[in-house]
Chains A and B, each alone.
Chain A
Amino acid sequence: MSVSSYVTAGSVDDVLAALAGGARPVAGGTDLVVGARSGKSSLPESLVAIHRVAELRGVRVSADGLRLGALASHEAICENEEIQARYSALADACTIVGSHATRAQGTIGGNLMNASPAMETGGPLICLGATVTLRSAAGERTIGLADLFTGPGKTVAEPGELLISVDVPAPAAGTGSAYLRLEYRRQMEIAVVGASALVTVDGGKVTDARIAMTALAPTIRHVPEAEAALIGSDGGPAAIEAAGEAVAAASSPISDVRGSAGYRRAMAAVIAGRAIEQALARARA
């Protein structure tokens, strides 16, 4: 039950050595410690605290794209003006995660590796074409974020692997993005339904689109049928509605205390449609 080993890592190498020995990483604690307290899963026997590792920090925006260190907090991301302007869906997501304390302490690495199908940041980053870099004592690999998730709470990461950074290519000119969730309250929500949209417009036409759905399937994933409904269209109401319907059709929601599957499916179309509208408005602005 109790934690028998705890080290504070000073470098990535320290972390990888600890992971190789079976430790689990802890950064902001917002998922790991809460999970243990609420009885969902006990704390791991061996922990490596990674919050002091300087190499894992930082939010860097360049002409080529965005690099987020695993320790980048939701607060640091959503307060970054360049992210707000060019990677809007990600800023939207980080702005509404938990409370101001969750946003200050919770990290992008922790959020992604927790692999909740209801997480806010996953959909936007998938739409933005993010890749994640995983490193272990044996080496490093970079994979598309969409390929990271395999199921609720499950990723392709091996036990010895640490998420080092998230890289996002710069969106093309004429691109706008947005993330929206169905909110019963304005704050302190867990997405019942969430949708991310990224669209590129050129003249009157939608030339590219990425649509992802959140809390509607065992993992967050993009919806090619919705994207097809938009690409080549004028981005008008009919295309938006068709894309929203495609999201609903692709969803496989569950019924639970937060809502029935039928309600979730209906809301998938509504929320996806609104996310697309907002992304289009931003693309055209």
Chain B
Amino acid sequence: MKVATTLTVNEIAYPVELDPGTNLLAAVRDVIGLTGSKEGCDDSECGACMMLLDGKPVNSCSYLALQAEGSEITTVEGLATGEKLAPLQAAFLSEGGVQCGFCTPGMLISATALLDQNPSPSEDEVRIALSGNLCRCTGYDGIIKAVLSVANAV
């Protein structure tokens, strides 16, 4: 059974037809075609699929796509303004927060959610907020520095 609905991703409305069991990650990647969000696990542990749902972080692999009807979905592709990188994106690069890049989209989303809610977090608050995003390359050091550098600049 397919259900017709509209999903709004990065301020663009997409009419889609989905099987009700489709999770939000699969809908955005496979149906809408935005592949920035990644699939890294099957039990909501890695955070590579993280999106914002009305500004709140969600593991999109564990959220039914149809439930997102009427909500604003933000993915990593929605963070930059045209060619201009968001401050967090630029800081991830300058502080060494990016290596293989597979966790980066989810990390950026988590960090965006954190700074929206708490513009001047402590280092420990940053570490807690990013704990749902696993990174195997950076030891988190460059990522934490990047988030703190943006927080301190605000």
Residues of A near any B CB (own CB < 8 A): 2-6, 8, 26, 28-30, 33-34, 36-39, 43, 47, 49, 51-52, 75, 98-102, 104-105, 185-188
Decide: A101 near B59, CB < 8 A? Known: A2-B19, A4-B1, A188-B131. yes
Asked whether A3 lies within 8 Å of B58 as measured between CB atoms, the reply is no
Bound-complex Cα distance A99 to B47 (A)? 9
> Which of A36, A38, A100 touches B21 (beta carbons < 8 Å)?
A36
Interface size class of B (residues with CB under 8 A): 20 to 34
Asked whether A37 lies within 8 Å of B42 as measured between CB atoms, the reply is yes
Residues of B near any A CB (own CB < 8 A): 1, 3, 19-21, 23, 42-45, 47, 50, 53, 56-59, 61-64, 66-67, 69-70, 110, 113-114, 128-129, 131-133
Q: Which residues of chain A have C-beta atoms less than 8 A from B59's C-beta?
A: 30, 99, 101-102, 105
Decide: A105 near B20, CB < 8 A? Known: A37-B42, A38-B42, A100-B132. no
Residue on A nearest B56 in the bound complex, by CB: A104
Asked whether B131 lies within 8 Å of A187 as measured between CB atoms, the reply is yes
Q: Which residues of chain A have C-beta atoms less than 8 A from B131's C-beta?
A: 99-100, 185-188
Q: Which residues of chain B have C-beta atoms less than 8 A from A185's C-beta?
A: 131
Bound-complex Cα distance A188 to B134 (A)? 10
Bound-complex Cα distance A200 to B102 (A)? 50
> Which of B43, B45, B58 touches A104 (beta carbons < 8 Å)?
B58
Nearest CB in chain A: distance from B115 CB, A: 12
Residue on B nearest A50 in the bound complex, by CB: B67
Decide: A101 near B50, CB < 8 A? Known: A36-B21, A187-B128, A188-B132. yes
Bound-complex Cα distance A36 to B21 (A)? 9
Bound-complex Cα distance A137 to B119 (A)? 46
Question: A34-B43, A188-B131 provided; 20 other pairs, C-beta below 8 A?
Answer: A3-B21, A8-B67, A8-B69, A29-B62, A30-B44, A30-B62, A33-B61, A33-B62, A34-B44, A37-B23, A37-B61, A43-B21, A49-B66, A101-B47, A101-B58, A104-B56, A104-B58, A105-B56, A186-B128, A187-B132
